[in-house]
Structure 1
Amino acid sequence: MKIRQQTHPNALALDDDRTDVVRTVDVLSGVNIIVLVAMLFVSGVTTTVVMAQEKAQVDRTELPIKAPWYPPITTLDARDAKAPPVFEVKAPKDAPNVVVILLDDLGFGGTGATGSILPTPQFDKLAKSGLLYNQFHTTALCSPTRQALITGRNHHSCNQAKITEVATAFPGATGMLPNDIATIAETLRLNGYSTAAYGKHHETAVWEISPSGPFTRWPNFTGFDEFYGFLGGETNQWSPAVYHNLNRVETPEDPDYHFMNDMATKSIEWMRFQQALTPDKPFFVYFAPGAVHAPHHVPKSYIQKQRGNFDQGWDVIRERIFEQQKKLGVIPKDTKLAKKPDDIKDWADLSAKEKKLYARQAEVFAAFLDMTDHETGRVIQSIEDMGELDNTLIFYIAGDNGTSAEGGMSGLYNEMTYFNGEPQGSDIDFMLKHYDDWGGPSTYPHMAAGWAVAFDSPFTWTKQVASNYGGTRNAMVVSWPDRIKAKGEIRNQWHHVIDVAPTILEAAGLPEPRIVNGTPQRPIEGTSMAYTWEYPNAPSQHSIQYFEMFGNRGIYFDGWFAGTLHMKPWANPETRFTEDTWELYHVAEDFSMSTDLSRQHPDILAKLQQAFLAEAVKYKVLPLDDRRQELFNPKLAGRPDLMFGRESLTLYEGMNGLLENDFINIKNTSFEIVAEVDSGDKPANGVIVAQGGRFGGWALHVKDGVPRYTYNYLGLKHSVAAGTAKLPTGKAAVKMNFAYDGGEKPGAGGTATLYVNDKSVATVKVPKTEFSVFSADESAGVGIDMETTVSEEYDREGSKYTGKIEKVTITLKD
């Protein structure tokens, strides 16, 4: 007689070899099985336990995969017993390694393979050995695309209507990934993969990014064994705010350091370790550079290679890209170049100063892309060097939306000036003063919108515009030599970023999970692209898709696209939602969306508008929300905030690396800082408390024993209240009182007064303050100024306070 486990965990089947009788016995407790086994021994029947791992197929629809149930062992001596096999979760046989590469803010006309003059040799090389997709789409903004990519669900389903920094309380826009949507990383990890993420992870709710957590939606708890990167929308590439797993790390203060190189090196090191230790275990790497999102930071050696390449201007270069696209066959030969936005000036109408500056901006952007593609190529080459390239499925997606036009008409010396409504940051004469160091550590730059339109050729619009393919169409290459035999071919099936996750599951031989970590899962909303690998002329399987961003909205259905431009990337809305004008394109025949057919086919337009509303209700798109800068204020947005209701915050020495949403909001109000310090028996130096950095922030610090308060307005003006005497030896109370002048008016100035032991020692008038945001990634802290420094009077190493800080209290004043 043999005992075998049935699919029900509390049932056993007895195969009686003598009578061929099969009986089922419910195992109600451990006692029952002991009694059963004892009865069998007494009857003289030999018992053989056939393990479930050998007889039953692993159920991968419920994750984590359940270990098999084994009957209790009744043998007394281990020498006389045979141990069951140790349960291990293993990936399906022949499951490939998977690498997803996602660049930032690069449009369809931004790669050599899609006709660009921008340098992307590694992308182009992969396109020649794999498949290039010319109708692949994203969401028009970064966080939403990234969440859709790693989940296979639409961005509103993931509660990621926009970027996490402007999340609201409305369903679909909370910025909090629901428990019923597991990432592809978590699915692969629970199926036996090693998983890692490098670079930009802009998917965690901003009020959850603090040492207090919760860490539920951090990379390590959404499926990644290893994480090395940053958690905001962008980072200073020279001085990034980097996390290694849950911990902030201080990157080297080295003039040759650059995060793009660092993250590539870290990913290569991890893959080598993983393959050395577990060569039979596949890996999943999500490689997501912050490039080429602003700030455009790149070494001069790359910039020098681009000298003069953009002197002809964006109109000529846009036309050249368009002609090359037709020549390469990535767009139909009868495609028309869509008109550019009316706000974009003709290059011929620009002044000599403007042409000089704008050409430089494009040189730096191209150099940044060149470096990014080179470092990405290092990652791919390392996989080949390990002998794993043939069995690695690579998705190289050249952009998470269209090229960014958020630099406005003139570009920006410091991107934070855009978020704070400061016009000097885009003044031509002012920016030309930084011509030679554009792209270096002393700038935080963005380029003029004319270049974004050029690099989104052949379309009209750019990032943020979900109602036009210029904001949502991105070049993508897929490579898997062991499976995809076609090389250098174009696939023109219509697909969306939500289709990547189901494609990975199909390639790995994995089912879509029904339950993950105890939570029933929402069905994946994407469609696998694997059918396109062997059938180049197969009809598209993704037939309907909505788009929405800041009220810009549209819908694709079976070769038609209807959409409306509600708001330009560089301007406020001009109409209410009900007043928006919709356009209609037969994109099956009009690749570039050049000919509006709304008047010719009002019936089709009306049907597509109704389809959009149906999809909007289905996927939690409504209500539409076109607010931008004001949503950076959590009170106006209605999202959770660590400081809601708090009038004061007390910190202690060593508390640093706090992002802006972790810190009390001192903007647009009066406030006071009181620090209890101990200088010891000699003059102290360094930062007591600081927030922000070189491109905007403030610091209470000490130089040669003398206290100082510096307010750095967007890197444009430093206002300093400097004492005249050194702090007394031993303990002292250092206070700074800021009296805000503006009342309810945002961004007004104020007066900063410095006190030592309640005696006024200095005062300074601050003409303007930052009303919206200091930085996307610069932090606040006690005893050190991390990343870049607020004041030029100290460097990062010199910012470390040499005395002792007992505590610092920041209090808001009415």
Structure 2
Amino acid sequence: MNLKWSYTVLGILAIGLCLASCKEKTDSVETEQSKAIASTGEYDRTVLPIVRPKRPFYTELDVRDVKAPPRFEVKAPKGAPNVVIVLIDDMGFGVTNAFGGPIEMPTMDKLADNGLRYNRFHTTALCAPTRSALMTGYNHHSVNMGSITETATSFPGNDAIRPQSITPMPEVLLQNGYNTAMFGKCHGVPPWELSVSGPQTQWPAHSGFEKFYGFLGGETNQWAPLIYDGVTMMETPKDSDYHFTVDMTNQAISWVRFQQAMTPEKPFMMYYAPGATHAPHHTPQEWIDKNKGKFDAGWDVMRQETFERQKALGIIPQDAKLAPKPKDIKDWEDLTDKEKKLFSRQMEVYAGFAQQTDYEIGRLKEAIEDLGVMDNTVFIYIAGDNGTSAEGGMNGMFNEMTYFNQIPETVDDMLEHYDEWGSPSTYPHMAAGWAVALDAPFTWTKQVASDFGGTRNGMVIHYPKGITKTGEIREQFSHVNDIAPTVYEIVGVPAPKVVNGIKQNPIEGTSLVYTFNEKDAEEQHKVQYFEMFGNRGIYSDGWLARVIHKTPWGAKPLRTLQEDIWELYNEQEDFALTNNLADKHPEKLKELQELFMKEAEKYHVLPIDDRLFVRLTASAVGRPTLMDGRKQLILGEGMRGMAPDVFINTHNVSFSITADVEVDNNGNGVLVCQGGRFGGFSLYIKNGIPAFTYNFLGLESYTVKATEKLKSGKHKIVMDFKYDGGGPGKGGLATIIVDGNKSAENRIDKTQMTIFSVDDMADVGIDEGTQVADYGSSNKFNGKIKKVVIDVK
């Protein structure tokens, strides 16, 4: 026997032994499951999926002589409740009336009056990390979501890829007999996976949700959203009265009614996550008008009034002090009349957006009540995935994309849009002074994970079947990673130990069920780290040690990580963190600093990366994109909705677009575009004339048009852009060439240095969402596109 033959035989034997071993393990699991079902009528829910019993063999010839085996069906534990989790976006601790804030949100009030309010509940200080922790029961770095997906790096803890050893809560409930659905904002899909090429394993439809209707990124235009139904991109709605929050609520109500009509005995889990109140702040005029003049007294008065209401409601202790504002935030009385006028309008729009959202949540609540199942529904209402956002800077923004491109907007410029603020013609954010006021009684805001202004959010749990002492406040420390284990305990299912043959990490959150009917129950979540872009802290049994490393509006950190100054607070005696005890208790501070490093190592927080704007560029931090190293992209008809990380990068470089097309005597429509009304470019034909428009942040627009109308037939249209160089965001010369002949050229004085849009994507043959340019009656191309080639030079 030759050596090659020997290896072949050994290989076959090895495969056979492996298959036999795998079969024995499968048979063993099936046998154990079968024994469990036979003896208790229940299954082993720690191993998912729950394995079907072994199929029996029969020797009988005639089916009439045999009794069929019982039908196997995984059912939820008897009496398991429905689960509804509502997560509002960018809403701080001091926003809602229920927690002493200035904004009336009656749905939350009603749920709080008949449920419990949690005044020491915490998030992670940013959107995607909070959502990952919420949907799993683990710390955000454990889920590899150390920051938002758009700033993922190549390091564990920050690569945005959920480990196989962590299974999302909806998947656990689905495999335990629930129907599951999600509506609204996801923000959990790595940006390079936002295409048909996927993989789509972290899309909601493949993460445990049977139904998903919403958007995948960090924000969306409420008037013209980029919506997916499952994994299918929907057409932008054409209704002039359309608003996404209304649409997603209609979808949610329709789904739950359908589900209960079909299987009223089967529990459902719904995750309702509106894009509100994240920028852009978009809401109908009727909601804005409800708040006209309400905030003219300014953010200092509003902040003080919120602080006093919080004391009156018992949300904060009577001896609590109002934390100082950040030094960068001006006193309202020092502002100009123009600033006051603009800023008051910004707050009116934000408040209307919040009120509209609560109203829509109320419609969902009423639909569940009409179905008669509210008493056996756990309704968890979380007012914010972080503190209110101060990313609008000192003046706010007409177009939030100016923030990511580091382009300041003046008050005079924004006042030109005063009457339309919040409408489809704006993409607005508000001044940071409002964010600080809406995070009262704390100093800081969203992004600042080391201050409770960034991480403390109001939460209400309503559960008539399980909560008897209603209308009370619960003061135990809690964290967003506590929600999944709370749901598991209420439902009666364990956090799985094995899923699809993969051993699962132990759950990291702590169930809150122990607080439901025991107001003074001993706190069980005793240690929790916080970290976001270098802002970091550690909570331990009433103490908080922390570092303020970077402001939300600052491009650079205040100091290096090595030079950071640690502070120490006794949080149980100092609710708003106003009395730094670092000098009085250096030994306690040292103990907590050491504890932070242990927790940071344990949960993949290290090494810390504070390079916010650098991290927006994938190549700078090792984040993959589908275009890694590519200089050419060949596109065809039907390709649309291409996100920045799956489209070739044309920022700060020379590039050309070549389109091979066929038109009739009046060609019209888009050949290829990226972005929309608030920034982007488009190569198109209008009334037979080829044109290229570069829209700079919705502030300025540059167009170059060919000189002659295209004749019927085939044509090659080229747009060649020669970048000036000399740094990012510079201008260049755009030239249009038709069938080999130079037709026209024009200067483009400014370009966007980092991103056009997070929701207006790249399209071929159409401009979905908002429009880059004025195309006339229709932007859909009426000819044929053979191909479009983009070359980066």
Q: Do they fold alike, i.e. is TM over 0.5? A: yes
- The range that moved more, 652-661 or 267-276, is 652-661
> Is the contact made by 1:778 and 1:786 (CA closer than 8 Å) also made in structure 2?
yes
Deviations 1:668-719 (A, max 9, x none): 1000100000003x21111011110000000001111001000000001110
Residue 200 of structure 1 corresponds to 185
Equivalenced residue count is 763
Q: Name the CA distance, whole Å, in 2 between partners of 1:690 and 1:29.
A: 54
1:50 to partner: Cα distance: 9.8
Q: Name the CA distance, whole Å, in 1 between partners of 2:457 and 2:156.
A: 28
> Is the contact made by 1:689 and 1:780 (CA closer than 8 Å) also made in structure 2?
yes
Summarize the alignment of residues 654-669 of structure 1 with structure 2, pairs less than 5 Å apart. Answer: 654-669=638-653
1:631 to partner: Cα distance: 1.2
One of 156, 162, 167 as aligned partner of 1:171: 156
Residue 642 of structure 1 corresponds to 626
Q: Name the CA distance, whole Å, in 1 between partners of 2:503 and 2:776.
A: 54
SS where residue 534 of structure 1 aligns?
Answer: coil
Residue 223 of structure 1 corresponds to 208
1:29 to partner: Cα distance: 14
One of 63, 83, 91 as aligned partner of 1:106: 91
Partner amino acid, structure 1, of 2:132: Q
Residue 249 of structure 1 corresponds to 234
1:629 to partner: Cα distance: 1.6
Deviations 1:231-289 (A, max 9, x none): 00000000000000000001322220000000011011000111011111100000001
Residue 399 of structure 2 corresponds to 414
One of 446, 451, 463 as aligned partner of 1:468: 451
1:51 to partner: Cα distance: 10
Unaligned runs of 5+ in 1: 1-26, 31-48
SS where residue 287 of structure 1 aligns?
Answer: strand
SS where residue 691 of structure 1 aligns?
Answer: strand
> Is the contact made by 2:551 and 2:558 (CA closer than 8 Å) also made in structure 1?
no
One of 553, 563, 573 as aligned partner of 1:589: 573
One of 94, 114, 117 as aligned partner of 1:132: 117
Partner amino acid, structure 2, of 1:481: P
CA RMSD, Structure 1 to Structure 2 (Å) = 1.4
1:787 equivalent to 2:781? Answer no
1:74 equivalent to 2:59? Answer yes
Q: Name the CA distance, whole Å, in 2 between partners of 1:721 and 1:774.
A: 19
Q: Name the CA distance, whole Å, in 2 between partners of 1:690 and 1:54.
A: 63
SS where residue 555 of structure 1 aligns?
Answer: strand
Summarize the alignment of residues 522-671 of structure 1 with structure 2, pairs less than 5 Å apart. Answer: 522-571=505-554, 572-671=556-655
Structure 1's 139 and 154: CA in aligned 2 closer, same or farther, altered over 3 A? same
> Is the contact made by 2:527 and 2:538 (CA closer than 8 Å) also made in structure 1?
yes
SS where residue 371 of structure 1 aligns?
Answer: helix
SS where residue 666 of structure 1 aligns?
Answer: coil
Structure 1's 794 and 157: CA in aligned 2 closer, same or farther, altered over 3 A? farther
Structure 1's 50 and 247: CA in aligned 2 closer, same or farther, altered over 3 A? closer
1:453 to partner: Cα distance: 0.5
1:557 to partner: Cα distance: 0.3
> Is the contact made by 1:52 and 1:69 (CA closer than 8 Å) also made in structure 2?
no
> Is the contact made by 1:199 and 1:229 (CA closer than 8 Å) also made in structure 2?
yes
1:119 to partner: Cα distance: 2.0
1:574 to partner: Cα distance: 2.3
Q: Name the CA distance, whole Å, in 2 between partners of 1:512 and 1:695.
A: 45
1:55 to partner: Cα distance: 5.0
> Is the contact made by 1:311 and 1:359 (CA closer than 8 Å) also made in structure 2?
yes
1:776 equivalent to 2:758? Answer yes
One of 138, 141, 149 as aligned partner of 2:134: 149
> Is the contact made by 2:322 and 2:441 (CA closer than 8 Å) also made in structure 1?
yes
1:70 to partner: Cα distance: 4.0
Residue 22 of structure 1 corresponds to none
Partner amino acid, structure 1, of 2:97: G
Residue 199 of structure 2 corresponds to 214
SS where residue 799 of structure 1 aligns?
Answer: coil
Residue 489 of structure 1 corresponds to 472
Summarize the alignment of residues 623-772 of structure 1 with structure 2, pairs less than 5 Å apart. Answer: 623-680=607-664, 682-743=665-726, 745-772=727-754
Q: Name the CA distance, whole Å, in 1 between partners of 2:95 and 2:171.
A: 32
Q: Name the CA distance, whole Å, in 2 between partners of 1:415 and 1:684.
A: 34
1:94 equivalent to 2:85? Answer no
Residue 498 of structure 2 corresponds to 515
1:447 equivalent to 2:430? Answer yes
Partner amino acid, structure 1, of 2:681: W
1:430 to partner: Cα distance: 0.4
Q: Name the CA distance, whole Å, in 2 between partners of 1:573 and 1:480.
A: 43
1:56 to partner: Cα distance: 5.2
Residue 20 of structure 1 corresponds to none
Deviations 1:453-482 (A, max 9, x none): 000000000000011000000000001111
Structure 1's 606 and 271: CA in aligned 2 closer, same or farther, altered over 3 A? same
Partner amino acid, structure 1, of 2:145: Q
Deviations 1:115-154 (A, max 9, x none): 1111211111110010000000000000000000000000
Deviations 1:583-602 (A, max 9, x none): 11100111111111111111
Partner amino acid, structure 1, of 2:735: T
Summarize the alignment of residues 254-269 of structure 1 with structure 2, pairs less than 5 Å apart. Answer: 254-269=239-254
Q: Name the CA distance, whole Å, in 2 between partners of 1:498 and 1:114.
A: 21
SS where residue 599 of structure 2 aligns?
Answer: helix
Q: Name the CA distance, whole Å, in 2 between partners of 1:528 and 1:445.
A: 38
> Is the contact made by 2:236 and 2:768 (CA closer than 8 Å) also made in structure 1?
no
1:458 equivalent to 2:438? Answer no
Deviations 1:410-433 (A, max 9, x none): 00110000110112xx20000000
One of 345, 348, 352 as aligned partner of 1:367: 352
SS where residue 441 of structure 2 aligns?
Answer: coil
Deviations 1:741-796 (A, max 9, x none): 015x111111110010011111110111001111111111110000000003446x
SS where residue 763 of structure 1 aligns?
Answer: strand
> Is the contact made by 1:164 and 1:175 (CA closer than 8 Å) also made in structure 2?
yes
Deviations 1:180-233 (A, max 9, x none): 100000000000000011100001111111011111111111110000000000
1:69 to partner: Cα distance: 2.1
1:74 to partner: Cα distance: 1.6
Residue 14 of structure 1 corresponds to none
Partner amino acid, structure 2, of 1:401: N
> Is the contact made by 1:234 and 1:776 (CA closer than 8 Å) also made in structure 2?
yes
SS where residue 261 of structure 1 aligns?
Answer: helix
Q: Name the CA distance, whole Å, in 2 between partners of 1:611 and 1:758.
A: 68
Moved over 3 A (4+): 27-30, 49-57
Q: Name the CA distance, whole Å, in 2 between partners of 1:205 and 1:709.
A: 31
> Is the contact made by 2:36 and 2:44 (CA closer than 8 Å) also made in structure 1?
no
Q: Name the CA distance, whole Å, in 2 between partners of 1:379 and 1:55.
A: 38
> Is the contact made by 1:629 and 1:772 (CA closer than 8 Å) also made in structure 2?
no
Residue 16 of structure 2 corresponds to none
SS where residue 151 of structure 1 aligns?
Answer: coil
1:438 equivalent to 2:418? Answer no
SS where residue 110 of structure 1 aligns?
Answer: coil
SS where residue 351 of structure 2 aligns?
Answer: helix
Unaligned runs of 5+ in 2: 1-22, 27-33
Larger-gyration structure (1/2): 1
Residue 9 of structure 1 corresponds to none
1:160 equivalent to 2:142? Answer no
Q: Name the CA distance, whole Å, in 1 between partners of 2:617 and 2:485.
A: 37
Q: Name the CA distance, whole Å, in 2 between partners of 1:336 and 1:166.
A: 36
Q: Name the CA distance, whole Å, in 1 between partners of 2:277 and 2:24.
A: 61
Q: Name the CA distance, whole Å, in 2 between partners of 1:504 and 1:84.
A: 33
Q: Name the CA distance, whole Å, in 1 between partners of 2:361 and 2:25.
A: 56
1:71 to partner: Cα distance: 2.9
1:53 to partner: Cα distance: 4.5
Partner amino acid, structure 2, of 1:398: A
SS where residue 285 of structure 1 aligns?
Answer: strand
